[in-house]
């Protein structure tokens, strides 16, 4: 059974934000109204963390794209009172929107603030919303949503691979962010497959996971910047 994981090379990543836009377009993530956005209700499945370090003028700006980490030991699934979120056999932490009652326990439980809440039905400013990708359902008001690793793409790839009676090749299934990254900084694939690029990257000397001591076993690895 495949186990899908991601590695983000922060040495290559410039922090341009293209992954954020790609994600929103691919997954029909709502654009919220400006005043709501300013209250912190912006919905990004792929977020960007900015952190400053160093002393002037040796300032360092670290930018870190942050999707859902699809933890192997996910804290969000345990607190869900209705079983609306679960970890499937392939390691994807999935959401069942129709079951979600909007209690937002999972948002609190997630140490990485990966989840966002639909405060409104996804129609906004003069009737416009953003449903473009017909492969992804729209979410309704009052439910929690988050990055799915573009699992709708996995379904399609599986279909093709099944038809051709072969395993899924490395790089055949990648989420939108990894696909369009202009810096080729996002690696994605089956971490159980020793030939996959994500397996190699996750074993790199620069690789680590965020807050590893929590024991939630995230499946997104970050490779730190090389220093000169």
Partner 1 sequence: MEIKRRDFIKLVGGTSVSLAVGGCAMDEVLEIPDRLIHRVRTGPGIETWKNTICGLCPGGCGISVRMVDGLPVSIRGNPHYPVNLGGMCSLGLNALHMLYHPDRLKGPMKRTANPGSGRWEPITWDEALKIIAERLTELRGGQKSRQVAVLGYDERGLMEQHIARFMKAYGSPNYFRFSPSQNDMVPHSLLHGHSRIPAYDFLNAKLIVSFGSNFLGEGYSPVYYTKLYSHHRELQTQYIQVESRMSLTAANADKWVPIRPGTYGALALGIAYVLIREELYDARFVGGSTFGFEDWADRSGSRHLGFRSIVLGNYYPEKVSEITGVPTAAILELGRLLGNTPKSLVLGDGGAVDNTNGTFAQMAVQSLNALLGNYEAEGGVFFTDQAPVRPLPDVEVDAVAAAGSRSEPLTSSRDVPFPLSDFSIESFAKNILADSPYPLSVLFLYHGNPLFQTLNHLDFAGALKKIPLVVSFDSIINETSEYAHLILPEHTFLESWGEISDVPTVGFSHFGIQQPVVEPLHDTRGTGDVFTELARRVGGTVKSAAAFTDYREEVRYAAEGLFRSGQGAVVAKGQKQPWIEFLQRRGWQTGRYATFDEFWEQLLLNGGWWNPARKKKNLDELFTTPSGKFEFFSQRLNSEFNRLLLKLDETGSSRNLESVLSRLNISARGDNAMMPHHEAVPYEGDRPMYLVTFQVMPNRDGAGAALPLMQELFGYSVHSPWESWAEIHPETAAAAGVSNDDWVWVESSIGNVRVKAKITPGIMPDVVAIPFGMGHTSYGRYARGHGVNPNTIMRNLHDLVSGKPALEATKVRISRTS
Q: Which of 2, 8, 26, 190 binds partner 1 (CB under 8 A)?
A: 26
25: contact with partner 1 by CB under 8 A: yes
Q: What tokens were used for 118?
A: 């639909």
Q: Which of residues 187-226 bind partner 1 (CB under 8 A)?
A: 226
Q: Residue 157 CB, nearest distance to partner 1 (Å)?
A: 11
Q: Which of 79, 86, 129, 200 binds partner 1 (CB under 8 A)?
A: 129
Q: Residue 79 CB, nearest distance to partner 1 (Å)?
A: 25
Judged by beta carbon, residue 57 or residue 81, the one nearer partner 1 is 57
8: contact with partner 1 by CB under 8 A: no
162: contact with partner 1 by CB under 8 A: yes
Q: Tell me the window of 77-85, 121-129, 195-203, 210-218 that interacts with partner 1 (CB under 8 A).
A: 121-129
Alpha carbons 227 and 160: distance in angstroms, whole number? 43
167: contact with partner 1 by CB under 8 A: no
165: contact with partner 1 by CB under 8 A: no
Q: Tell me the window of 32-40, 78-86, 142-150, 203-211 that interacts with partner 1 (CB under 8 A).
A: 32-40
Alpha carbons 11 and 228: distance in angstroms, whole number? 11
What is the per-residue binding string for partner 1 in 46-85, x denoting contact by CB under 8 A? --x-x-x-x-xxxx-x-x----------------------
Q: Alpha carbon 187 to chain centroid distance?
A: 13
32: contact with partner 1 by CB under 8 A: yes
Q: What is the DSSP string of the chain?
A: ---EEEEEETTT-----HHHHHHHHHTTPPPPPHHHIIIII---SSEEEEEEES-TTS-EEEEEEE-----SS-HHHHH-TT--EEE-TTS-EEE-TTT-----HHHHH-TT---EE-SS-S-BTTTB-----TTSPPPPTT-EE----SHHHHHHHHHHHHHTT-PPPTTTS--HHHHH-TT--EEEEETT-TTSHHHHHHTSTTEE-TTGGG----SEEEEPPP--
Contact positions vs partner 1 (CB under 8 A): 11-18, 20-22, 24-26, 28, 31-32, 34, 37-38, 42, 48, 50, 52, 54, 56-59, 61, 63, 123, 125-138, 152, 155, 158-159, 162, 179-185, 226, 228
């Amino acid at each position: 059974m495949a186990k899908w994981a991601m590695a983000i090379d922060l040495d290559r990543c410039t922090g341009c934000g293209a992954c954020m836009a790609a994600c929103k377009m691919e997954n029909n993530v709502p654009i919220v109204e400006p005043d709501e956005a300013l209250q912190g209700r912006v919905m990004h499945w792929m977020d960007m963390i900015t952190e400053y370090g160093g002393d002037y003028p040796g300032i360092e700006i670290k930018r870190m794209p942050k999707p859902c980490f699809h933890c192997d030991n996910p804290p969000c699934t345990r607190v869900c009172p209705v079983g609306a979120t679960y970890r499937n056999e392939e390691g994807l932490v999935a959401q069942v929107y129709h079951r979600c009652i909007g209690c937002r326990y999972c948002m609190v439980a997630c140490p990485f603030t990966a989840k966002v809440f639909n405060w409104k039905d996804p129609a906004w400013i003069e009737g416009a919303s953003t449903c473009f990708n017909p492969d992804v359902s729209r979410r309704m008001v009052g439910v929690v949503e988050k990055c799915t690793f573009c699992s709708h793409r996995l379904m399609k790839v599986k279909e093709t691979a099944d038809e051709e009676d072969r395993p899924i090749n490395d790089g055949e299934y990648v989420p939108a962010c990894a696909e369009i990254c202009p810096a080729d900084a996002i690696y994605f694939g089956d971490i159980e497959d020793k030939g996959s690029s994500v397996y190699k990257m996750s074993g790199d000397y620069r690789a680590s996971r965020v807050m590893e001591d929590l024991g939630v076993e995230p499946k997104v690895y970050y490779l730190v910047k090389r220093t000169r």
